[in-house]
A and B are shown apart, each in its own frame.
Chain A
């Protein structure tokens, strides 16, 4: 992507057109609510727009936007408002009992949807490594830089994330970690 923009507006339009859905999905993996993810997406691009001056010195727009998005989503999850929403939803779910919504009845979830659901229920530090590795297809090095942890931490979180995920899935007997090798873009590691 060309990093030279004629104006601030041009910069915003360019990054928004290229990354809006990407950021929207990333936000969804953090907050698991479409409406909240929409709001967060807007706020993230607003931050990008306001910090246009700071961006100039950076080389990768993608990393820069992702970094802003991660911080913003985590800040939101720490906020009182998000806790209020989570508690309200829990209360609603409790009040409804185990009754399935018409949507649930009609949509018989396939395996992919089931795994996605389980993935989204993992703790954030495990969830985000899976999202960046499988959905965004980032390298371990990029993930480490983005999440501000070292590469070994990313590897061990990835391994643990898969273990947790396989434990939560029914009929998942297959051992995930031991000896399984992942090769991507020339980087090998045991996970």
Chain B
């Protein structure tokens, strides 16, 4: 076998394989032209790395400047509704981001969970804040918005089938039969606060409306408690 292999190595057709003169010439020409056109070597790579680094820094600075919500970016969402969805934060965390003149309701009926806050930013201003307090049997939704007033609400609902159950200069309680069970509105400073209380296991809006009617006084008291409390950011 050894002999055969040595013999084969000398006489094999593989040894006869050769590139013709023309092939060699063309190949050499092609290598030179390709090699020269690609030219990159270390200098280009070094330059490219620096450029990449500078571009990354610029993007980060730009994002900070525009105050783009990182979570929304990470989740690859583009619509405004998606951005709102991703702005949920634990109340204690969100407090630092919220305006100083905004009264932040503290959980006032035995809250089991730390409430989550949903807020929407417009540039550097926070315009809408939603807080969900989850109790043992009930859930209280508090919505705070900048720039709205009781007048707007009244004007908006006058033509509809809403009924006012309570009204004074600073507050208004609406009972809606259509899609929202019952909301109490309060105005304080530049903000309009709305409260709605729902049972945790609500089966239908009708049932929720009925529940809201039954707890009118309770809702009002709770809302009033929020309005009159002092800002507690601790």
The residues of A with any CB-CB pair to B shorter than 8 Å are 9, 12-13, 16, 20-21, 24-25, 28-29, 34, 37-38, 41-42, 45-46, 49-50, 53, 110-113, 115-116, 119, 130, 134-135, 137, 162, 165-166, 172, 174, 176, 180, 182
Contact = CB atoms under 8 A, between A and B. Distances in A.
B234 interface: no
Chain B interface category by residue count = 20 to 34
B2 A180 contact: yes
Interface of B: 1-2, 4-9, 11-15, 17-19, 23-24, 27-28, 30-32, 34-35, 38, 40-42
Nearest to A23: B19
Given A12-B28, A16-B28, A53-B42, A135 B15 contact: yes
Main secondary structure of the interface of B (DSSP, over half): helix
B1 A166 contact: yes
Contacts of B4: 111, 115
A113 B12 contact: yes
A24 B30 CA distance: 16
A16 B21 CA distance: 12
Nearest to A136: B9
Contact of A130 (B5, B23, B34): B5
A28 B6 CA distance: 19
A182 B2 contact: yes
Nearest to B12: A116
A115 B28 CA distance: 33
A110 B27 CA distance: 33
B14 A116 contact: yes
B117 to A, nearest CB: 51
A46 B34 contact: yes
A172 B19 contact: no
Contacts of A38: 19, 23, 27
Contacts of B18: 21, 24
A42 B1 contact: no
